[in-house]
Amino acid sequence: MLRNYFLVAYRTLLRYKGYTLLNVIGLTLGLTCGILIFQVLKFQTSFDAYHAQKDRIYRVMTEWHSDGVGRSSGVPAPMAKALRNDLSFFEHTAMIFDQHDILVSVPDAKGRPLKKFKEDHSIAYVEPEFFSIMDYQWLNGNPRLSLTQPNSVVLTKKLATKFFGTEDPIGKRLKVGNELDLKVSGLLADIPENTDVRQEMFISWETLKNYKKAGGAGLDNWGGVNSSTHCFVLMRPGVDPKTLEKPMRKFINKYHPEEGNEWFHPFISVQDAHFAFDFDAQISKSQLYALTIIGLFLVLTACINFVNLATAQALKRSKEVGVRKVIGGTKGQLFAQFLSETGLITLCSVILAVLLTELVLPSVNHWVYETAGLNLFGNLQLFSDLPMLLFLLVLIVVVTFFSGSYPGLVLAGFQPVAALKGKISTQQVGGLSVRRGLVMVQFVLTQLLIIGTIVITQQMDFFRGKDIGYDPTAIVMVNLPTPDKVTESLRHRFMQIPGVEKVSFSSYAPTSSSNNNTNHRFDTRQEDEKWSVNTKPIDSHYLQTFGLKLVAGKNIPESDTTRAFMVNETYVKRLGGNLKPADVVGRNMTVWDRTAPIAGVIKDWNNLSFHNQIQPVVLFSDHNLYYTGALKVSTAHLPQTLAGIEQLWNEVYPDHLYDQTFLDQRIAQSYQTENLILNLIRVFSFIAIIIGCLGLYGLVSFMAAQKTKEIGVRKVLGASVAQILALFGKEFAKLVVLAFVVAAPLGWWVMSGWLEDYTYRISIGWTTFLVAIFTTAFIATLTVGWQSFRAATANPAKSLKSE
C-alpha cells in the first residue's frame, strides 16, 4: 500500500510539472535557509561545550559602578593567585594573558632566525592550572609539569607543523619578538573551532614574571585592568556562584580597600561568556534569537506557499478524487495519498536544500571569516552530525504534515458526484478567506524582514557617518617592535617619505580594542577616584596627527617621560563639582604613581566603539610604551607612499615582519557582527520575497479560476481590461494594508529592542514603515500583474460556453 501511494504520487507530480516545480523551488529555498540558520545555532551554542567540566568552569569579569557602569573581560593580574589563597570554593584557578601581532622566529644553532612568522592571536602566557580546568588533548608532555619552568612553551600540532614541519618539536627552540628564548616542552592536539580560547602557543606564566615587555611588571597590581588578562576558575562540585556574593564582597574590599563598593567581579560560565556582549563577546543571544525567528519565518513562508499552491491545484484534481471515491477509495486513503505526494516533494526539497547548503557553505564561511573575522557557521559534516540528521528528519515530518494536512483534508472531503460533474465550488477547497489569511501572514513576515533590514542598514550608516571626534581616514598604523628605536630621528625619516604628512608614536590609537584602565587621583584629594581611567601613552604629535581638538589648555610638551597629562571632557565631568575644562588645567593628577599637572583638556571622542559610552581618558608621554606608529598620508600616490614606509620600516627593524593597517579599517572591524547580521538578513529577506512571490502566484491563480465566469460576464457587459485588473488589485491592496497594520507595530517593537544594545543609536522614523509597505505593494503588483492580465484578456466565450 505504501509503495503504491508513493508510486502514484510520483506519477501525479510528473503530470503537474509546473505545480511541482514551484513547490520544490519554494520549499528548497526556505529549507536551505532553515538548515543554514540551524547550523549557526548549533555551532554558536556549542562553544566550549566539549570541556568535560564545562558546567563548573567560569570566567571572572570586571565591573565598575559609579555614576555609570564600565565592564571588561579582563581582570587585575593577581586575581587567580588571590582567589586560590583566600577562598575555598575553587578546585583550580588560572590566569591567561594573550598577546597580538607578535613575531615568532625559529632560530638556527647560533640564534639567527631561519624562519619568521607573524602570529596575530596565537600567543598566551598561562598558569599550569589552566590545563586542569580546560580539556586539551596532550600528544606529548605533562599538563602539570610542562609549563612550570620559565621560558617553556607548549604548541598545538598545527603551530608545531607550521614552525618545524614534520620534525619532533619537543626540545626545539623558538624566539618571541627577537628577545624571548623559549624551549618547546609539550605538544597539544589541534584545538576545536568552537572555542573562545583561540590561542595555540602557551608560554609559562613564570616567563611573564621576568618579561617586562609583555607586562610582567604589573603582575601584583590591583589598580589596573588589562583587557588581555583573563581569569578562569573551576568551581568545586555543588558550589553555586550566587553563594559567592558575600565572600566576594569581602574579597573585593580587601584588595580594593579605597573603592571596594565600586568594584565587582562577576562569574560567568564559560559557555555563557561566548554571548556576554557587554564583556566584548562577538555575538549576543539576542542576535541568535533574531536569526532563529527569521529561520522559522522562512520555513513557515515556504509551507504557506505550498498550501496556497496545493489548494489552488485542488480544483483541477476534483474528477480524479471523484473516480477514486467511486471505486472505493476512503477519505483516509485519499488523505494518505496526498500526504505522500507532499512528503515526496518535501523529501526532494530537503535533499536539494542539503546539496545547496553543502555547495554554498564553504563560500559563506569564507565570506563570513574574511569580512568579519568571525567563523559563524562552522563546518557541515552531514553524515557524522547526529543533531543535523535529527533536525532534517524532524524538518521532513513537520513540513510534510504542516503543508500537506489542510490540502489533503480538502481533497479527501470532495463529494464524488459533484467531483465527477465538475461542480466543486471554490468554497469546497477552502474559499478565498483561508488563502487570504495565509498570504497576509506571508506579507506580515516579509514586511517584518524589510523593516529589520532597513533599521539595521540605517544603524550601520549612522555608525559610518557619525563624527567619532577625530579624522581616522588615511592614517596608516604600523607596529613598532622595540620602543628603544622610536626616536625623533625616526619620526623625521618617516616624514621625509613623499606622501607622509604627519607622524605620531603611541601605545594605542584613539579608538582601540586594546585598552588599559587604572586607578588615579586628582589634585589634592586624599583618596583615589571611585572610577578608573583609560590610559593612552602618546607623544606630542598625537593630537595633530589624529585631528583631536583641545577645548582648554595646551598640548603636552615634547618629552620621553611624563611631564604633563591631558584628559578628555568626560574625565572632567566625572570629577563632579560643576568643574569646567578650564578649571582642571594646571592642577595635578596622579596615574601609575606619576604626579604631574594637567596641561590640557581634549574634546571627547569615541575611544571604544559606538556600543559603549565614552570613557574617561588620560594621555601622557612615556617613550618605553610606544609600540604603535601612526602616519597620516596623502592618497595622491598611495602605493608609492606605502612602499616607502615599508622600506624604511624594514631598514629599522630588519629582524621583524612588516605589517600595516588603516585605522578606519580597524574601526570598521568593531562592527563586524552587525555587518554580518545585516548581510545575512538581506539575503534571507530576498529569499523570503521570492518565496512570497510564489505564494502570491498561487493565490492569483486560484482567484482567476474562481472568477473565470464572473470575468466573462463582466466583459460581455462592457467591462474594460483596466476594470477587471482593478478587481485583483483591490483584493491584494487590502491584504498589503492589513499585513502592514500587524507588521508595523511588531517591527517597531522588535527593532527598538535590538537598538537598546547600542549607546548611540538611531530613532526609527515613519519613512522606514513607508518604504516597507511600498516595497511590499510593488512586489505584489509585479507578481500578480501577468496572471491578472491573462485572466482579464481571456476570451469570455470560452469561460461562458459551459453555462
Please give the Cα distance from 376 to 674 (Å, whole number): 12
> Is residue 120 scored above 70 in pLDDT?
yes
> Is residue 496 scored above 70 in pLDDT?
yes
Cα angle for residues 122, 126, 128 (degrees, 5° grid):
135
Residue 623 contacts residue 486 (beta carbons within 8 Å):
yes
Does residue 212 fall inside a structural domain? yes
Does residue 94 fall inside a structural domain? yes
Q: Which helix (H) or strand (E) holds 597?
A: strand 594-602
Does residue 713 fall inside a structural domain? no
Separation in Å, CA 729 to CA 103, 710, 724, 783: 67, 16, 9, 11
Please give the Cα distance from 256 to 711 (Å, whole number): 84
Q: In the structure grid, which three cell numbers stand for residue 42, read together? A: 548549533
Q: How confident is the model at residue 365 (pLDDT cuts 50, 70, 90)?
A: low
Do 82 and 139 sit in the same domain of this protein? Answer: yes
Mean pLDDT of 760-773: 82
Q: Which helix (H) or strand (E) holds 263?
A: strand 263-264
What pLDDT sits at residue 45? 87
What pLDDT sits at residue 230? 92
Does residue 718 fall inside a structural domain? no
**SS3 for 641?**
helix
Indicate the average pLDDT of the chain.
79
Please give the Cα distance from 270 to 259 (Å, whole number): 28
Q: How confident is the model at residue 267 (pLDDT cuts 50, 70, 90)?
A: very high
Do 40 and 59 sit in the same domain of this protein? Answer: no
Do 213 and 80 sit in the same domain of this protein? Answer: yes
Please give the Cα distance from 102 to 515 (Å, whole number): 17
What pLDDT sits at residue 344? 82
According to DSSP, residue 167 is labeled S
Q: In the chain, how many domains are there?
A: 3
What pLDDT sits at residue 153? 93
Please give the Cα distance from 522 to 530 (Å, whole number): 11
Q: How confident is the model at residue 601 (pLDDT cuts 50, 70, 90)?
A: very high
Do 533 and 612 sit in the same domain of this protein? Answer: yes
Do 177 and 241 sit in the same domain of this protein? Answer: yes
> Is residue 358 scored above 50 in pLDDT?
yes
pLDDT, tens only, 128-151: 999 999 999 999 988 888 999 999
What pLDDT sits at residue 315? 58
> Is residue 429 scored above 60 in pLDDT?
no
pLDDT, tens only, 177-236: 778 889 999 999 999 888 888 889 999 998 987 776 555 446 788 877 888 889 999 999
Mean pLDDT of 523-540: 83
Mean pLDDT of 270-297: 81
Positive or negative, the CA dihedral 44, 46, 51, 54 is positive
What pLDDT sits at residue 417? 47
Separation in Å, CA 195 to CA 46, 72, 191: 8, 19, 8
Q: Using CB atoms within 10 Å of the CB of residue 14, give its burial: 0 to 12 exposed, 13 to 18 middle, 19+ buried.
A: exposed
Angle between helices 318-326 and 331-372 (to 10 degrees): 140
pLDDT, tens only, 720-764: 767 766 766 677 777 778 888 888 888 888 888 878 777 677 788
Residue 458 contacts residue 361 (beta carbons within 8 Å):
no
Give the best-scoring range by mean pLDDT among 300-304, 568-572, 701-705: 568-572
Residue 105 contacts residue 86 (beta carbons within 8 Å):
no
- Residues 6 or more apart from 394 whose CB is under 8 A from it? none
What pLDDT sits at residue 575? 85
Do 80 and 116 sit in the same domain of this protein? Answer: yes
> Is residue 79 scored above 70 in pLDDT?
yes
Does residue 319 fall inside a structural domain? yes
Lowest-confidence region among 69-78, 281-290, 492-501, 536-545: 281-290
Please give the single-letter amino acid code of residue 276: A
Please give the Cα distance from 117 to 95 (Å, whole number): 26
> Is residue 261 scored above 50 in pLDDT?
yes
Higher pLDDT among residues 465 and 680, named by residue: 680
What pLDDT sits at residue 372? 45
Residue 800 φ/ψ region, left for φ over 0, alpha for ψ in the -120 to 50 degree band, beta for the rest: alpha
E strand segments, 430-580: 475-479, 500-506, 516-518, 520-522, 533-537, 550-553, 565-568
Does residue 180 fall inside a structural domain? yes
Does residue 335 fall inside a structural domain? yes
pLDDT, tens only, 9-61: 556 656 666 667 777 888 888 888 888 888 888 888 888 888 989 999 999 99
Q: How confident is the model at residue 407 (pLDDT cuts 50, 70, 90)?
A: low
According to DSSP, residue 783 is labeled H
Please give the Cα distance from 274 to 292 (Å, whole number): 17
| Domain limit, last residue, from 392, 411, 429 | 429
| Domain limit, last residue, from 207, 241, 270 | 270
Higher pLDDT among residues 792 and 209, named by residue: 209
- Domain with 34 in it: 1-47+286-429
Closest CA to 627 of 659, 595, 597: 659
Higher pLDDT among residues 575 and 211, named by residue: 575
Do 528 and 645 sit in the same domain of this protein? Answer: yes
What pLDDT sits at residue 712? 66
Residue 227 contacts residue 150 (beta carbons within 8 Å):
no
Mean pLDDT of 504-512: 85
pLDDT, tens only, 320-349: 655 555 565 666 676 777 777 778 888 888
Mean pLDDT of 496-520: 84
Please give the single-letter amino acid code of residue 778: F
Pairing state between β 263-264 and 62-65: antiparallel
Do 72 and 35 sit in the same domain of this protein? Answer: no
Listed in sequence order, the DSSP H helices in 315-430 are 318-326, 331-372, 386-412, 416-420
Please give the Cα distance from 303 to 399 (Å, whole number): 7
Residue 615 contacts residue 607 (beta carbons within 8 Å):
yes
Per the DSSP assignment, residues forming a β-bridge with 522 are 589
Mean pLDDT of 463-486: 78
What pLDDT sits at residue 431? 47
Do 140 and 241 sit in the same domain of this protein? Answer: yes
E strand segments, 150-241: 152-156, 173-176, 180-188, 201-204, 224-226, 229-235
Q: How confident is the model at residue 8 (pLDDT cuts 50, 70, 90)?
A: low
Please give the Cα distance from 215 to 78 (Å, whole number): 12
Q: How confident is the model at residue 766 (pLDDT cuts 50, 70, 90)?
A: confident
Please give the Cα distance from 229 to 72 (Å, whole number): 10
- Residues 6 or more apart from 701 whose CB is under 8 A from it? 309, 312, 787
Rounded to an integer, what is the distance from CA 445 to the centroid of its chain? 23
Do 397 and 518 sit in the same domain of this protein? Answer: no
Do 23 and 68 sit in the same domain of this protein? Answer: no
Please give the Cα distance from 374 to 675 (Å, whole number): 11
Residue 378 contacts residue 194 (beta carbons within 8 Å):
yes
| 3-state class percentages of the chain: helix first, strand second, coil last, to nearest 5 | 55, 15, 30
Does residue 745 fall inside a structural domain? no
Q: How confident is the model at residue 370 (pLDDT cuts 50, 70, 90)?
A: very low
Closest CA to 154 of 136, 177, 167: 136
> Is residue 428 scored above 50 in pLDDT?
no
Do 539 and 633 sit in the same domain of this protein? Answer: yes
Mean pLDDT of 698-718: 64
| Domain limit, last residue, from 270, 299, 321 | 270
Q: How confident is the model at residue 96 (pLDDT cuts 50, 70, 90)?
A: very high
Q: What percentage of residues in the chain have a pLDDT greater than 90?
A: 14
Q: How confident is the model at residue 669 (pLDDT cuts 50, 70, 90)?
A: low
